[in-house]
Amino acid sequence: MLDVIIIGAGPAGLTAALYACRAGKKTLVIERSTFGGQIVWSPKVENYPALPSVSGLELGDNLTKQAQDAGATLELDEVTAVEKTEDGFRVSSVFGGDFEGRTVIFATGASPRRLGLADEEKYIGAGISFCAVCDGEFYRGKTVGVVGGGNTALQEALYLSDICETVHLIHRREEFRGDAILETSLSRRSNVVFHKNATVSRLTGDPNLTGVTLEKRDGTKEELPLDGLFIAIGHNPENALFKSFTTLDLGGYADIGEACEAGTPGVYIAGDCRTKEVRQLVTAMADGATAALAACHYLDKQG
């Protein structure tokens, strides 16, 4: 019987593993695709305190190694179900079968929604980004597009308009879903161009993105040269495995607070898959530490 089973080996899950191991708990981390999580696809991370510039890959590798060195067992496997048992939880997986644990930490993350266009995946890291705070610096003085009409898109556009020459804000409707105050701030900026009632229908450039085709509601098309495109059309939380242990908000995120307690004793939810204001590396890691220490306290109380 394991003390802690962590599902997801991104910054939240690996930090949770580090803390649980250092507290002497027998810990297993199960990850279905990439140890280190989505950050490993970021060419350069410049907002991680105390490391002014580090590649996402190096950061992910270091996190993984640190968790392993602390004693965590890492499995590359896909979890298919988590069930409550008499003494804890049964975590079933595709390859490893069943794992038994006294506590479970879900750190399954959230994936940015895609536009659904041909070659979209190819351009990720080569012109397409999902995070202005992470990647905006690479487009300093350049021309970028932002797709979306929610608060994230409006905030990304504001952030980018401070560092880029021109920001094209592309939204499929006349009205923005995001706060009016953000739209007003954007409309006062001379380097922000609004493209309402427009969608991106094609991505161009080889190997890097150099432009997009905009398709307007009236059927007309426009070729828009761009150095980068920030897609901010929402996220899909990976909630399938934990939704029976907690309540979800309208977006499908675990509707729990900073304590990361799912509402079912022994179950914790950490990182981007829970409701939160700021989804950044450091906040995901903070959740990992919080969830792991909460699991340790729960285990210690059980004796």
Q: From the candidates 3, 77, 134, 227, give the one annotated as an active-site residue.
A: 134
Instruction: State which residue, 104 or 146, has the beta carbon closest to ligand NAP.
Output: 146
d(CA 221, CA 108) in angstroms, rounded, equals 39
- Residue 99 CB, shortest distance to ligand NAP, in Å, is 33
Q: Which of 155, 161, 239, 290 binds ligand NAP (CB under 6 A)?
A: 155
Site for ligand NAP in 180-199 (CB under 6 A): 199
Under rule CB under 6 A, residue 169 binds ligand NAP: no
155 close to 129: Cβ distance less than 8 angstroms = no
Strand order in the sheet with 198-204: 198-204, 211-216, 221-225
- Please, which residue, 111 or 302, has the CB nearer to ligand NAP? 111
Cβ 171 vs Cβ 196: under 8 Å: yes
Residues 61 to 120 in contact with ligand NAP, rule: CB under 6 A: 113, 115
CB environment 189-216: b (16+ within 10 A), e (fewer) = eeebeebeebbbeebbbeeebebbebbe
Tell me the backbone φ, ψ of residue 211, rounded to 5 degrees. Answer: 180, 175
CB of 141 to ligand NAP, least distance (A): 25
- In the residue annotation, 131 being an active-site residue is answered as yes
Is 252 a residue that touches ligand NAP (CB under 6 A)? Answer: no
Which sign does the torsion angle of CA 157, 160, 161, 167 carry? negative
Cβ atoms 4, 102 nearer than 8 A: yes
Let me know if 134 is a catalytic residue.
yes
Min dist. Cβ of residue 91 to ligand NAP (A): 30
Helix/strand/coil percent split, the chain, to 5: 30, 30, 40
Stretch that binds ligand NAP, among 124-132, 146-154, 240-248, 290-298 (CB under 6 A): 146-154
- Comparison of 167 and 295: residue with beta carbon closer to ligand NAP: 167
Q: Which candidate in 3, 21, 77, 131 is catalytic?
A: 131
Active site residues: 131, 134-135
Footprint of ligand NAP on this chain (CB under 6 A)? 113, 115, 147-153, 155, 172-173, 177, 199, 232-234
